[in-house]
Structure 1
Amino acid sequence: MRLVSTASIQSGATLGQTIYRDNGTVLLQRGMKLTDRLVKRLENQGITYVYIEDELTKDIVVQPAISERLRQDATTSMKKLFTDVQKSNLLSNSFILDKEEKSLMDIIQRIMDEINNHQESITLLGDIYLTDDYIFQHSLNVTIYALAIGTELKLNAKELSELGKGAILHDIGKIFISQDILQKPDRLLDDEYETMKTHTTLGYELLRKNHSYSSVVAHCAYQHHERLNGTGYPRGLVGESIHLFAQIIGVADVFDAVTSNRVYRKAMLPHEGLELLYSAAVDQFDSRIINAFKNSVAVYPNGMTVELNDNRYGVVLKQNKHLCDRPIVRIIQDEYGIDVTPYTIDLSKELNITITKCNLS
C-alpha cells in the first residue's frame, strides 16, 4: 500500500485500506475503485490522505495503532460518559463518573495491551476514519500517544493507569463550552478563545470532587495547556510546578491537534508535527518527553514515499522500533529519477542517509 494525498488520486485507483466512520460503520471498503466523484467526496469530508494499492507496494503492511473494535468501544464509552455528565445536574455528576470509571479502566488496559503487542512503532495516520465528534477521537488519540510516551519513560502500571485516565478525561471540561465555539469553522475571536480556555478549570473542578479519580487525574485536566516557560494557561505555571503527566498529555495534545484535519487548517504530516514539538522543546516542553515521543511514534508511516539526501526516492517499508525516524525504505528511483529494480536499505544502519522530504502526490 502507498500513502497518497486525496487530491492526487487518479480515477480508477484501488483503495488500499478501509475508511470507517467513528461509529464503526464502513464509509468506503478496501479494494473499491475510486471514481472522481468518490475522491471529491473524500476531499469534501476532510480526508486528506488515503492508502492506495499498487504493484511496487502491495506487500507493505500498515498496522493500526489500535484495533477498529477497540477504537469503536473507546469512542462509545467516552461519548456516553461525556454526554451523561453534560446532561446531568451537579449532584448526579459524581455518580456518573463513578459508574463509568470501570469502563474507562478497561479501555485503558486494552490500549496498553495493544500498544505492548504492537510489532512496530505506532502511527495514527493509518487509522483513516470520518468523524463528526472531534473531541472523542482527539481524546482517544491523545490517550494512545500519552500511554506510548509513558511506556517509553518506564512508568509503572499504576502510573500508566493514572496517566491513561488523565489523558482520556483531559478535555472533559469542554462539555461545558458552547457548541458554537467548539464547532466554529473559523479561528476563534479573542473573547471566544478566553471562553475556550476555561475548559481546563471546568474539567478540574468536575474531577477533583470525585473520589474515584485522584488529584493527579484532575490536574491533568487542569494543567495540560501549561508550558515550562510560563506561557501556558490557566495559571502560567513554570517548570516542575507542572505535573509530569500533564506535561506528557500536553505534548500528545499538541501533536494530535496539528496532525488532525480542522476546517480552518490542513493537517501536518507526522514528521512536521514532530519538528514543531522540537522547536517548542527549547522552552515549552521537556526534551525527555519529546525524545520519548520520537522513540514511540512512527514519524514516517509505512507506505509513505520519501526522498533521501542522496536524491534517491523510496517508500517506507517498515519501522525500526524505538528508532522512529530511521525506518527501512524500499528504493524505487535512483538519484537521477530513473526507476530501478526495487531494493531495501535500513536507515538504522545507513547512518549517512537521511530522509529530506515526503512526497504524497
Structure 2
Amino acid sequence: MRLLPTKSCVPGMRLAKAVFNEDGVILLGRHVELSQALIIRLGQLGVDFLYIEDPDTDDIDVNDPLSDETRRKALTEIRTHFGAFMEDSAKKKFSRAPALGKSFGNLMQMIIDDLKENQGALIMLMNMNVLNNYVYQHSLNVSIYTVMLGMAFGYTREELTVLGLGSLLHDIGKTKINWALLRKPGVLTPEEYKEIQTHTELGFKLLKDEPNMPLIAAHCAFQHHERIDGSGYPRGIKGAEIHEYAKWIAIADSYDAMTTHRAHREAMLPHQAMEILFTGAGTLYDQKKIAFFRDHVAIYPMGITVTLSTGEKGVVTDIHPAAPQRPVVRVLFNPAGERLAQPYEVDLTQKLTIMIDHVDAAAG
C-alpha cells in the first residue's frame, strides 16, 4: 500500500485500508474504488491522507496500535461524555459527570493493554483514513502518542494511567467553548483567541473534583499550553513549575495539531511538524523531551512517497526504530521519472551518502 495525500488521488484507485467515521465505524471498506466525487467529499470531510493499493507496494502493511474494538470504544466514550458537556454548555449549565473518572479509567486500561502489545513501535501518523472530528480524534491521538512515549520512557502502569487520563482529557475544557468558534476558518480575533485560551481553566474546573479522577490529570488540562520560557497560558509559569506530564502532552498536542486537518489549513507531514517543534526546543518545549520524541516518531511514515538526493523516487517500506530518519526506500522511478520494471530497495542506514530530498505530494 502507498500513503498519498487525498488531493493527489485519482479516480480508479482503490483503498488499501478502510475509512472510518468519527465513531471508529467503517464508512468505506477496503478495496473500494475511488470516484472523483468520493475524493472531493473525503477532502471536504478532513481526510488528508489515504492508503491506496499499489502492486509494487502491496506487501507493506501498517498496523493500528489500537484494536478496532478499543478505538470504537474510545471514540464512543469521548463523543458521549464530551457531547453531554457540550449540551450542558449550550443550556448555560456547568454540571459534572460522576461516571467520568470510572469510564475513562477503564478505557485507559484497554488502551494501555493494546499499546503494550505494540511496545517498542514507532509513533506513526494517525490521521489517515479517518473522518476528522477534531476534538474527539485529537484527544485520542494525543493520548496514544503520550502513552507510547511514557512506555518508552519507563513509566509504571500506574503512572501511565494518570498520564493517559491527563492526555485523553487535556482538551475537555473545549466542550465549554462555542463550537462555531472552535471550527472557525481563518484567523481568530484577539478576543476569540482569548476565549479559546480559557479551555485550560475550564478543563481544570471540570476535572479537579471528579470522583476517580487523579488531580494530576486536572493539572494536565490546566498546564498543557504552558511553555518552558513562561510564554504560555493560563498562568505563564515556566521550567520546573510545569508538571512533567504536561510537558509531554504539550509536545504531543502540538504535533497532532500540526499533522491534523484544521478548518484554516491542511495537515502537515511528520517531518514538517518536527522541524517546527525543534525550533521551540529549549524555549517552548523541554529540549530533552523533544529529542526523545524525535527518536520515537516515524518522520517518514510507511508507504509515503519520497524523492532521494539521487533524483530517484520511491516509497518507504520499513523504518529502523534506532534510526527513524533513515528508512528503507523501495525505488520505483529513476531520475528521469520513468517507472522501473524491477523496483529495488535502498537502506538509508547503509547508504549514508543518500538523503531524502523531499516528500512528494503527488501520486507519481
Q: Same fold (TM over 0.5)?
A: yes
Tell me the equivalent position of 1:146. Answer: 146
Tell me the equivalent position of 1:343. Answer: 344
8 Å CA contact 2:127, 2:259 repeated in 1: no
> d(CA) in 2 for partners of 1:32 and 1:251?
36
**Secondary structure, counterpart of 2:105 in structure 1:** helix
Tell me the equivalent position of 1:226. Answer: 226
Distance 1:194 1:202, change over 3 A: same
**Secondary structure, counterpart of 2:320 in structure 1:** coil
8 Å CA contact 2:332, 2:344 repeated in 1: yes
Distance 1:37 1:175, change over 3 A: closer
> d(CA) in 1 for partners of 2:38 and 2:150?
40
Tell me the equivalent position of 1:305. Answer: 305
Tell me the equivalent position of 1:106. Answer: 106
- Pairing 1:24-173 to 2, within 5 Å after superposition: 24-87=24-87, 93=96, 96-97=97-98, 99-118=99-118, 120-125=121-126, 127-131=128-132, 133-173=133-173
1:53-81: per-residue Cα shift (whole Å, max 9, x none)?
12211111121232232221101112222
**Secondary structure, counterpart of 1:357 in structure 2:** strand
1:142-194: per-residue Cα shift (whole Å, max 9, x none)?
10111111122212222111100100111111121122312223332110110
| Amino acid across the alignment from 1:253 | D
Tell me the equivalent position of 2:267. Answer: 267
Tell me the equivalent position of 2:210. Answer: 210
Distance 1:319 1:126, change over 3 A: farther
8 Å CA contact 1:120, 1:319 repeated in 2: no
Distance 1:38 1:127, change over 3 A: closer
Tell me the equivalent position of 2:354. Answer: 353
Tell me the equivalent position of 2:178. Answer: 178
Distance 1:68 1:360, change over 3 A: farther
Give, in angstroms, the shift of residue 211 of structure 1: 4.6
Greater displacement, 273-282 / 220-229: 273-282
**Secondary structure, counterpart of 1:165 in structure 2:** helix
Tell me the equivalent position of 1:281. Answer: 281
8 Å CA contact 2:143, 2:167 repeated in 1: yes
**Secondary structure, counterpart of 2:299 in structure 1:** coil
> d(CA) in 2 for partners of 1:68 and 1:185?
32
Give, in angstroms, the shift of residue 338 of structure 1: 4.4
TM-score normalised by length of structure 2: 0.91
Tell me the equivalent position of 1:237. Answer: 237
Give, in angstroms, the shift of residue 298 of structure 1: 1.4
8 Å CA contact 1:152, 1:292 repeated in 2: no
8 Å CA contact 1:310, 1:335 repeated in 2: yes
Distance 1:243 1:137, change over 3 A: same
Distance 1:205 1:43, change over 3 A: closer
> d(CA) in 2 for partners of 1:351 and 1:286?
30
Give, in angstroms, the shift of residue 204 of structure 1: 1.1
Distance 1:213 1:101, change over 3 A: closer
**Secondary structure, counterpart of 1:237 in structure 2:** coil
8 Å CA contact 2:230, 2:237 repeated in 1: yes
| Amino acid across the alignment from 1:348 | T
Distance 1:109 1:350, change over 3 A: farther
Where in structure 2 are there 5+ consecutive unaligned residues? none
Q: Does 1:190 align with 2:212?
A: no
Give, in angstroms, the shift of residue 86 of structure 1: 4.7
> d(CA) in 1 for partners of 2:346 and 2:43?
34
> d(CA) in 2 for partners of 1:174 and 1:126?
20
Distance 1:151 1:265, change over 3 A: same
**Secondary structure, counterpart of 1:162 in structure 2:** helix
8 Å CA contact 2:123, 2:298 repeated in 1: yes
> d(CA) in 1 for partners of 2:70 and 2:322?
24
Give, in angstroms, the shift of residue 11 of structure 1: 1.9
> d(CA) in 1 for partners of 2:354 and 2:111?
34
**Secondary structure, counterpart of 1:129 in structure 2:** coil
The alignment's C-alpha RMSD in Å is 2.0
Distance 1:192 1:11, change over 3 A: same
8 Å CA contact 1:227, 1:236 repeated in 2: yes
**Secondary structure, counterpart of 2:358 in structure 1:** strand
Give, in angstroms, the shift of residue 312 of structure 1: 2.5
Calculate percent identity across the aligned residue pairs.
38
